Structures are given as structure tokens and as C-alpha cells.
Structure 1
Amino acid sequence: MHEALLASHNGVFYTFSFESIEGVQNWVRERDIEALTSSCGRFDFWTSPLLRRGTLQPINRAATKILVGATRFSGADVPVLRGPIVITSHDQAGDIIGLTPEQIIQLIELSYRLPRQRDVWALEWRLGRLDRAELRQARRESRRGRGSFAVSGAA
């Protein structure tokens, strides 16, 4: 059994045990998943490719911050992760393996403390902009759906 870290979109972290890639698929909630590997080569971020096909999943701030801290991405150019993100590791052959307790702690700390303050500012600005744009879109769709209703048979 291997240990993985699930970064939920609401900022809560969970650890779970898995035996194979199917365990990761269950937590990401998709059969087709793909991984981003950190620049240090130690961490794999598993996500669903369906998140890019118009399905607007909630922004996963915690996982996006971890991705900034574990890669060479800056807060300005990191891909914004959405939905549930499972973080694992891999061996030299590329096979999926679990995280050590120390790695899990390190990843959670990255979500609270990015090494560069400039990244914190840039990322918060970008995520805030995305939140506002999505709120505007939801309001527009809500207004379109309201429309006027004619009551038949009214005198």
C-alpha cells in the first residue's frame, strides 16, 4: 500500500492509501487522468483532462500553491489547477509510488508558505481575477435563465 495526498478544492487535505493507479483514479473521480511532474522530479500531480473541456470545476488554490512551490513555475505562469488533485511520487522506472510522511508534511507546508512573496502576490491576484470572472459569468447565465414567464389563462 502507498500513501497519497488529496488536495481538495475547498483547501482541506486528505491522505489515503492506494495499491495502483486505479486508486488514484477513484479519488480524482475520472477514468482518464494525467499527471504533471514537479521540476525536482519527486512529485506527480494527478488531475482529470476533462477539466479542460468546458466543465468548470472549482479552483484548487491549495494544489496550485503546492505546484508553484514544487516547480519552477512562478505565481504568474503556473497552470491553475481545478477540482480534486492527488499528489503521489514515482520510482526511477516511472512507476507510481506513495509519499513519505515527511513529503506529505512538506507539501502541505508549501500550500501555506510559498518561498517567494512575489509568487504569493501574483498567484492571489490571478486567482482573484478568475474568481471574479467566473462570478460574472454565473450572474449572466442566471439572468438569461430567469426570463419573463407568461401566465396562460390570466384575465
Structure 2
Amino acid sequence: MKCPYCGFAQDRVVDSRESKEADSIRRRRECESCQKRFTTYERIDEIPYMVVKKDGRRERFDRQKVLAGIIQSCQKRSVSAAQMESIVDQVEAFVVDSPERERTTSSVGELIMARLKDIDTVAYIRFASVYRDFKDVREFKAELEELLSGKHPAKS
């Protein structure tokens, strides 16, 4: 913390206490160079993690929304709740690790598809059909042929 009076970078904390609203911590500091005191406030970072939609809109990252999409894709498949939860954990970590506090929905969707492809190819195809928004049967067939050609490991 730089001293607001002399710009020196070393100080010591003289007193710390919670604010009246309990949403920040008030610290009295003393500069080690000029011995003047000043006050700082620490607050929890409340900026949400965001996803950028295909049309450019930004939306808060919603863990439940991701889980709901995965559950829908894995209906009547032998994918355990723990496996689905693991995918959601990986997606959340991916979004949180972003230095800009946001990721594109396309990068999130690709990550989910990669994980589903390793677990269950039918769940992968279900998710891909919604995520990639296949316009007709040809696009769907092309994805299946790519999967069957051996470019992807076949698991189900």
C-alpha cells in the first residue's frame, strides 16, 4: 500500500476493525517513512463471473444452468451424478480461472462436449445437437460419421 502523503510503499497496520455494516474491514495504517496515518477499507470482490453469449450479450455464470443441460443430455444413460458434478466443477474452474472474469459460451460448450465425449458418446451427441444447433439431418449425420470414423474414442 502506497502512502498517500509521501508515496512510500511500506506501512504497518495500527488498528483493524469491521465496519458497522460488516461488509468491509477498516484498517488504520502508519507510513514507515513519514509516520503519517491513513485509513484503508477492504471489501469482498463482488464482480460476478460472466459468460459471453453468441450474440454478444453477457450473462452471469450459472452453475445450475450448466448442470441442467448436462442432466438433460445424460437422461437414461449410465452417467453418474458424480461424473456430471465433476464436469460442472471443471467448467466452473475454467470460468473462474479467466483473467477477464468471463468466458465465451462457445469455449464453455466445447469443454462440456469434450468431457461428455470421454464419458458417454450418446450424451455427447445429445448435448452437441442442442449446443451446435444442427439445422438439418445432414449436419447431425456429419457429426455422427466423424464420431464413428475413429476420430473420437467410442464409449457408451
Q: Which has the higher contact order (CA 8 A, sep 6+)?
A: 1
Answer whether TM exceeds 0.5 for this pair: no
Q: What TM-score, normalized to structure 2?
A: 0.29
Q: What TM-score, normalized to structure 1?
A: 0.29
Instruction: Point out the structure with max Rg over C-alpha.
Output: 2
